[in-house]
Structure 1
């Protein structure tokens, strides 16, 4: 199996490389369009600024390449946000797989901290998603690791939610595109199971 990780100006990419290595997968870190098209699976991870990330992706025309991928694609953290239509971070138009706008967290209580950082419970949504292949085998109320200041509202694409300040999309799916706001590569055994589920799609 060939697993390509999209290389762009975002942080945290190498933690995904290492997480896949722990699962026995030697991934390819690449910004080459042909390599991405030929891969069996593509992962779109990252931490960073949406405006700067989209500028880089457009410069190398990776935004259009990502949009046209037909194999399973997994967006992680900023990767999930960039798969949306628009981000309030820099007021930038993004790739547009998910027809929704990425919003900024605004604290409403003294104890609300932004960025959101740490472990949170997620809720898998609805009976139709209990058997969702990305989230199968996680048990009830799994905990995963988050680090973000922006969030995707709950939409028809949401397959799992989290709740901090307000409910939002923890996982999404549309066709061959999957996305997680949290970091499976930093989420222990639960994260390993999600990555393995993705590899098994």
Structure 2
């Protein structure tokens, strides 16, 4: 495991994790040349995991702090949670599987994950792997091919989150052996 913002180290990695916490516009601006590296990695089939804000960066654009262009890796938009719900959405919610995916290997619907967010990913197509309910049904996990994003924080979600992270490592190892 390497934590870095160095372009070459990211390009050479077997897999990439984009962490959460922050604002969309600031995160996109701070990526700079990293956007090209991430898009190239996605095109090469390299596993990429986005956590919370990291997952939101995969969208085409976000309405947070004015319309900001995203990475465009998974068609969709980032929009604010409805007025009828308390923001931020903070706490444990169950996740419901919608599709089979290696990231969820060994994980059943109904397991709980820890969420902290005020905006969510509204996909343009069928990229929803799992959902949760918070006033409305929202995507908890989105994905497209080698790209996977969680609206929740697996690193704060106990043994279930740890299992998901291990599954991502398996995906990365499998890809690096090709």
Secondary structure of 1:89's counterpart equals: coil
Separation of aligned partners in 2, 1:118 and 1:47: 15
CA contact (8 A) 2:90 2:117 kept: yes
State TM-score, norm by structure 2: 0.89
2:75 counterpart SS class: strand
Q: Which runs of 4+ in 1 moved over 2 A?
A: none
Deviations 1:29-88 (A, max 9, x none): 111221112111211112011111111112xx1111111113111000000101110001
Structure 1 gaps, min length 5: 1-26
Correspondence 1:187 to 2:157: yes
The equivalent residue for 1:136 is 105
User: Structure with the greater relative contact order (CA < 8 A, sep ≥ 6): 1 or 2?
Assistant: 2
Structure 2 unaligned regions, length at least 5: 172-178
Alignment RMSD: 1.1
**Counterparts of 1:9-88 in structure 2 under 5 Å?**
27-58=1-32, 61-69=33-41, 70=44, 71-88=46-63
Question: Contact 1:116–1:146 (CA<8 Å) still a contact in 2?
Answer: yes
1:104 to 80, 87, 97: 80
Q: Distance in 1 between matches of 2:68 and 2:2?
A: 28
**When the two structures are superposed, what TM-score results if normalisation uses the length of structure 1?**
0.79
Q: Does structure 1 retain, via aligned residues, the 8 Å contact 2:97–2:108?
A: no
Q: CA contact under 8 A between 1:153 and 1:167: conserved in structure 2?
A: no
Contact 1:184–1:191 (CA under 8 A) maintained in structure 2: yes
133-142 vs 179-188, which deviates more?
133-142
1:136: how far off?
1.3
Count of aligned residue pairs for this structure pair:
166
2:96 is matched with which residue?
Answer: 123
Within a 5 Å distance, the mapping from 1:86-97 to structure 2 comes to 86-90=61-65, 91-97=67-73
The correspondence for 1:177, drawn from 139, 147, 157, is: 147
Report the counterpart of residue 113 of structure 1 in structure 2: 86
Task: Note if contact 1:121-1:143 (Cα within 8 Å) is conserved in structure 2.
Answer: yes
Q: For residues 67 and 174 of structure 1, what CA distance do their matches in structure 2 show?
A: 13
Contact 1:107–1:165 (CA<8 Å) still a contact in 2? Answer: no
